[in-house]
């Protein structure tokens, strides 16, 4: 006969519902029992909602994170002869930074083992972007990951099913129960995966603004502080930057479009904000890894060494870095309605438009269109002339244009020339 369970799910739910603190034993049990299927989805939904409404103490969050890590395995990079360092973004529109960043940091002397995800809803996913490169493969065995990391200095691939499996199950449940936005649950979800990934240092890019999970600086700071404390307590040198996500990063949102722009950055060009964020995050990653004397990331982008790592990293996963990227069958251009200054271009609305054009998925099992997305011809602060192209929409299915244009309705404002738009800085704050 199976041993009796030491706790009762209803008691655990009642404790949190009534503003109590969960004990270590309750947390360890409920996370493990949910992963085993002993605690039912409806019970975990009730508990997640109680956590969203009543919060958790730092001790509870740390224990919950640790319990999630213990449902799977921890990766080990001790066979790699360089310090490991990684970056995690909380997700935004046009956020392709991992693509130029990982090879840049590798070119400066660190090893970057990055387990990435796919996009859901209006935010893009790194794996979907890289899969637009002909032949590139996201799934690698642990041995293959180690091989790519040792040979090239960077590996970007999908997390295996055995990395924090509790999070996979709980994240899917939160997605359909209105409980994604709970700071203790976001922090433990992200940090359980990053700690299990085994990186020695971690830089968190916590996005703030319309295109991000955190819409205001106060909640972004709370999330960042919680994650930095979790990482530090687990022995991972962790810092966080709060960065602006009111408007898309760079000039593209969509898979192949973003790969093209990333290659421009690796070639020493590309939009200023993408270059600035890549260089800033790369310097933080190197400093967190204890590498201070080597090449500067800005030089690695200019001298071709970051591009060289990129080409080897893509080829090591079956991709052809020289192959032409997929192009959309149809395009539609949106023109500036008046002379003036582009005062506002909303990240969320551009993200939804790209998603509706086919760049993203509404359900986890859907395919994405590699070439779909939105290309920006101007960024907030630019002077524009009536009739000049403002945005180009790309898709393989022209029936998608109407819904994408609806998503963009009211998403950009051309103000009279001479007005001063209120543009937040790209990097808002640093924590850690």
Cβ proximity to ligand URA, 197 vs 346, nearer residue: 197
189 is annotated as an active-site residue: yes
Active site residue: 89, 132, 188, 189, which one? Answer: 189
Work out whether 98 is an interface residue with ligand URA (CB under 6 A). Answer: no
Among 15, 84, 189, 305, binds ligand URA (CB under 6 A): 189
Active site residue: 174, 194, 356, 394, which one? Answer: 174
174 is annotated as an active-site residue: yes
Work out whether 223 is an interface residue with ligand URA (CB under 6 A). Answer: no
Work out whether 170 is an interface residue with ligand URA (CB under 6 A). Answer: no
Work out whether 190 is an interface residue with ligand URA (CB under 6 A). Answer: yes
**Segment near ligand URA (CB under 6 A), from 185-193, 285-293, 321-329, 419-427?**
185-193
Cβ proximity to ligand URA, 190 vs 234, nearer residue: 190
Cβ proximity to ligand URA, 130 vs 190, nearer residue: 190
Closest-by-Cβ residue to ligand URA is 189
Cβ proximity to ligand URA, 180 vs 350, nearer residue: 180
207 is annotated as an active-site residue: no
Residue from 351, 371, 362 nearest 250 by CA: 351
**Nearest distance in Å: CB 375, ligand URA:** 26
Work out whether 186 is an interface residue with ligand URA (CB under 6 A). Answer: yes
Work out whether 93 is an interface residue with ligand URA (CB under 6 A). Answer: no
Q: Which residues bind ligand URA (CB under 6 A)?
A: 90-91, 171, 180, 185-186, 189-190
**Which residues are identified as catalytic?**
88, 167, 174, 189, 193
């Amino acid at each position: 006969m199976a041993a009796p369970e030491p706790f009762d799910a209803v008691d655990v739910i009642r404790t949190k519902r009534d503003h109590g603190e969960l004990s270590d034993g309750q947390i360890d049990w409920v996370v493990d029992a949910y992963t085993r299927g002993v605690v039912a989805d409806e019970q975990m939904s009730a508990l997640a909602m109680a956590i969203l409404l009543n919060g958790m103490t730092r001790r509870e969050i740390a224990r919950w994170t640790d319990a999630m890590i213990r449902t799977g395995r921890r990766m080990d990079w001790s066979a790699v002869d360089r310090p490991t360092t990684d970056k995690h973004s909380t997700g935004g529109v046009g956020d392709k930074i991992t693509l130029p960043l990982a090879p840049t940091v590798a070119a400066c002397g660190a090893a970057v083992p990055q387990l990435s995800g796919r996009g859901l809803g209006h935010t893009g996913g790194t794996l979907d972007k890289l899969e637009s490169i002909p032949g590139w493969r996201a799934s690698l065995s642990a041995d293959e990951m180690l091989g790519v990391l040792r040979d090239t200095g960077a590996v970007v691939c999908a997390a295996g099913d055995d990395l924090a499996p509790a999070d996979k199950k709980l994240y899917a449940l939160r997605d359909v129960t209105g409980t994604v936005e709970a700071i203790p649950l976001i922090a433990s979800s992200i940090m359980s995966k990053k700690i299990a990934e085994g990186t020695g240092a971690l830089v968190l890019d916590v996005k703030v603004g319309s295109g991000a999970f955190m819409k205001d600086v106060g909640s972004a700071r709370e999330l960042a502080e919680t994650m930095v404390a979790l990482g530090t307590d687990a022995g991972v040198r962790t810092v966080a930057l709060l960065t602006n996500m009111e408007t898309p990063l760079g000039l593209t949102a969509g898979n192949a479009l973003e790969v093209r722009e990333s290659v421009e950055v690796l070639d020493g060009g590309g939009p200023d904000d993408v270059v600035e964020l890549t260089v800033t995050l790369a310097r933080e990653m190197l400093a967190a890894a204890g590498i201070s004397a080597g090449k500067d990331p800005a030089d690695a982008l200019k001298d071709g060494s970051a591009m060289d790592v990129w080409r080897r990293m893509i080829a090591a996963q079956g991709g052809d870095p020289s192959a032409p990227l997929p192009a959309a069958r149809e395009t539609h251009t949106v023109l500036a309605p008046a002379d003036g200054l582009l005062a506002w271009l909303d990240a969320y609305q551009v993200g939804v438009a790209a998603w509706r054009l086919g760049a993203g998925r509404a359900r986890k099992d859907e395919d994405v269109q590699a070439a779909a997305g939105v290309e920006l011809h101007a960024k907030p602060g630019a002077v524009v002339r009536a009739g000049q192209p403002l945005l180009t929409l790309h898709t393989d299915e022209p029936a998608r244009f109407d819904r994408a244009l609806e998503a963009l309705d009211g998403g950009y404002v051309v103000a009279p020339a001479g007005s001063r738009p209120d543009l937040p800085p790209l990097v808002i704050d640093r924590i850690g």
